[in-house]
Chains A and B, each alone.
Chain A
Amino acid sequence: MRRFLAIRFLQALVALLAITLIVFGLTHLTGSPVDALLPDDASQAQIESLIRHWGLDRPLHEQYLAFLGNALQGDLGVSLKWRGYTAMEVVLQRLPATLKLGGLSVLLSIVVAIPLGVVAARHRGTMVDKSANVVALLGQSLPQFWLGIMLIWIFAVGLGWFPTSGQGGLPHMILPAIAMASFQVAALARLTRSAMLDSLRSEYVKLARLKGVPEYRIVWKHALRNAAIVPLTYFGLLAGSLLTGSVVIESVFSWPGTGLLSIEAIRGRDYPVVQAVVILFAVVFLLINYVVDALYALVDPRIRRA
C-alpha cells in the first residue's frame, strides 16, 4: 500500500511538472508582456531596458529552469501587471471571492437538484419525471453569459431585488451564483435520480414499506440518506470546473475572483500570474484525484497491484 501511494505520488509530481512546462511554454508563446504593458510610443531603449529588467532576454530554457527553481521554493515571481505584489499574493487576494461564489453556487444547485432528482425517481417514467428532466436541462442549455445578463436585467434592473454586480454581501452573490449553479443542476439531478432508483429498489426500503412507514418518510429520509453519497462524490469534479465557469460569470458580474483575474492576466501577458493561477488549480485538482485514488486503493486491494 505504501509503495502504491509513493508511486502514485511520483506520477502526480511528474504530471505537475509537465503542467508547469505546458503553462510556461504556452504563456511565453502568447507574446511578450512588454507589448501588452508598454504604450505605443515606447522607445527601443525603454523596451530593451524592461526586457532586461524582467529577465526576458535570457534563453527560454534558462528562464524555465529559474522559474522552476523559484517555484519549488514557493516563489512564483512578481506580478508584472499588478505592480507591487507577488503573483501568489495577487491570486490569493482573489481566491476567496471565487471560493465564496463557487460554494454558494454548489449549495444552490444542491437545493434545486436533489429534490428534482428525488421527485423524478419517485415518479419514474411519468410526465413528472420527464418534466423534472427538462427543467434540470433548461439551465444547462443557455450560454452562461447570456443567462447572467438576463438575470441582471430582470432581477437587478427590472425588479430591483438584487444589486447588478460587484463584490459585497450575500445579495451581490445571488445572481452570479444562480447563473453558475444552473449549469450544475442537470448533472446533479441526474445522478441523484439514478442513485435514488437504486436506493428505492433496495431491501431495506422494501422492509420499511412492509413495516408501514409512510411513503414520504421512506423517500425523503431512508432512501435519500443512502442515495446522497453518489451526488456528493460529484463535488470533487466540480472543483475543476469552478475556475472555468467563473471566467465568464465573473466577467459578466464584475466579480473580482480568479476567473476575472486570469483573463486580465492573459491580456496583460502577466506570465507569473497566469502561471500561478493555473498551477494552483492544477495542484488542487491533482491532489483531489490523488486522494480519491488512494481511497479507492484502500477499499479495493486489486487496484494497488495494477
Chain B
Amino acid sequence: MKLSRLRRYPLLPIAVLLAILFIPALFAEWLAPHDPYQSHLRNRLQPPVFWGGTWDFVLGTDRLGRCVLSRIMHGAQYALAISAVGIFVGAAIGTLLGLVAGYARGWTDIVVMRLVDISLALPSILLALAFAAAWGPSFEAVIIVVAFVLWAYFARQIRAEVLSIRERDFVARARVAGGSHARIVLLHILPNVVNTVVVMATLQVGVVILLEAALSFLGIGVPRPTPAWGLLVADGRWLVVSAWWISFFPGVAILLAVLSVNLLGDWLRDRLDPELIEV
C-alpha cells in the first residue's frame, strides 16, 4: 500500500539529486577525502583507482595534483548556490513585475513588457562577456547574469496567467469587498501563480548549471581555483585524450544532476501546472 504510493514519486531522480547535489553540497567538508584546493604536485595526473590509480585519489587527480572527487563534491556547493540564488533573484524580480504588469495593465504593463522584449532581445552570453570584461568575472557576476537571463521568462509567463486570473470571480468579489490592490495581488492572485513559479524554477536549475559551464568555457565564469563543475570540465577539456578523468567525472555529475532535475521538473509540472507550456 505504502509502496505503491511511493511509486508515484520520481524516486530515481530524487535519489540521484540527493547523492550528487544535495548531500555533497551540505556535507562536502566531512565527506571529501581531501582539501579540494590542496595540490599534491608529486601526484599530478593520477588516474582513477580502476584505471591504475590508487584508493587515495579514487577519481584521480588533475594537472596540479588536486583530488578530482573532492573537487566535484565541493563543486556541488557552487552548483547549488549559483542556481538557488540566481534563480531566486530572477524569479522574484520576474514574478513581481509579472504580477504588477498583469494586474495593473495599461502603461505599467506596456513598460514591463517592453523591458521583457529588451531583455530577451539582448543575447545573454554577449552581455555576460561584456559584463565580465567591464567588471571582471566573479561569483556575484555569474549570479547577476543568471538572474538577468531568467527574469524575463518569469515575468512574461506570470503576467499572462495574472491577466486571466484577474478576470475570475473571486478577484472581483475581493474587489467589491474593498480589498486594497496590494492585498488582492498578494492574497488572491499570488497563491494562484505559485505553482507555475515553482515548476519554472525547478526546470531552470538545469539551464543554470549549464550556463555556468558555458561561462567557464569562455573564461567568464566563477574565477579559478574554485571547483565549480563547469570550470572543472572546461579546465580538463584539453586533456581528454590522456587524462580524460579530469573533465569526464564532473561532466557526468553535470549530466546526472541536470537530467534528474529536469525529470523532477517534468513530474512537478504534470502534478502542479499541466497547462504550462514553457520552452
Is A–B contact present in the complex under a CB 8 A cutoff? yes
CB < 8 Å: which of A138, A146, A243 contacts B259? A138
Cα A26 to Cα B134 in complex, Å, equals 8
Q: Are B259 and A15 in contact (CB under 8 A)?
A: no
Interface membership of B97, Cβ < 8 A:
no
Which of B118, B241, B277 is the most central at the interface, judged by chain A CB atoms within 10 Å of its CB?
A: B118
CB B78 to nearest CB in A, in angstroms, measures 15
Given contacts A143-B214, A145-B237, contact A19 B125 (CB under 8 A): no
Query: A144 in the interface, Cβ–Cβ < 8 Å?
Result: yes
Binds A, one of B20-28, B57-65, B87-95, B250-258: B250-258
Q: Is the interface of A mostly helix, strand, loop or mixed?
A: helix
B237's contact among A149, A191, A274, by CB below 8 Å, is which?
A149
Does the CB pair B240–A149 fall under 8 Å? Answer: yes
Grouping DSSP codes into helix (H, G, I), strand (E, B) and loop, the B interface class, with mixed when no group exceeds half, is helix
At the interface, yes or no: A248 with Cβ under 8 Å from chain B?
yes
A133 to B259, CA, bound (A): 10
Report if B36 contacts A (CB, 8 A).
no
B114 interfacial by beta-carbon distance below 8 Å: yes
Given A19-B118, A142-B251, A240-B120, CB of A153 within 8 Å of CB of B241: yes
CA distance A161 to B210 in the complex (A): 28
Neighbouring B residues of A251 by C-beta, 8 Å: 217-218
A248 contacts B129, CB within 8 Å? no
B175 within 8 A of A: no
**What's the Cα separation between A246 and B41 when bound, in Å?**
37
> Does chain B have a CB within 8 A of A6?
no
Most buried by B among A142, A191, A262: A142
- A243 engages B123 (CB within 8 Å): yes
Q: Contact check, A26 vs B110: say whether CB atoms are below 8 A apart.
A: no
Chain B residues within an 8 Å CB radius of A29: 130, 134
Q: Chain A: how many interface residues by the 8 Å CB criterion?
A: 54
Provide the bound-state CA to CA distance between A234 and B277, in Å: 11
Tell me whether B263 and A137 are in contact (CB under 8 A): yes
Neighbour of A146 across the interface among B120, B129, B134, B237, CB < 8 A = B237
- Smallest CB–CB gap between A6 and chain B, Å? 14
Q: Which of A141, A247, A286 contacts B218 (CB 8 A)?
A: A247
Q: In this assembly, does B99 line the interface, its C-beta being within 8 Å of a C-beta of chain A? A: no
Contacts of A243 in B (CB 8 A): 123, 125-126
Q: Which residue from chain B places its CB closest to the CB of A195 in the assembled complex?
A: B277
A144 and B210 in contact (CB under 8 A), knowing A19-B121, A237-B279?
A: yes
Contact of B262 (CB < 8 Å), options: A137, A145, A146, A274: A137
Q: Which residues of A contact B126 (CB under 8 A)?
A: 243-244, 247, 262, 266, 274, 277-278
Most buried by B among A141, A153, A240, A262: A141
Report the Cα distance A11→B109, complex, angstroms: 12
- B-side residues, CB < 8 A to A, are 105, 109-110, 114, 117-118, 120-127, 129-131, 133-134, 206, 210, 213-214, 217-218, 230, 233-234, 237, 240-241, 247, 251, 254-256, 258-259, 262-263, 266, 277, 279
Known contacts A26-B131, A247-B123, A277-B123; 11 further A-B pairs (Cβ under 8 A): A19-B118, A22-B118, A30-B134, A143-B254, A146-B233, A146-B251, A150-B240, A190-B279, A266-B133, A269-B133, A274-B126
Which 9 A-B pairs give the minimum distances between C-beta atoms?
Answer: A143-B213, A141-B258, A30-B133, A282-B121, A285-B121, A187-B279, A141-B259, A29-B134, A30-B134
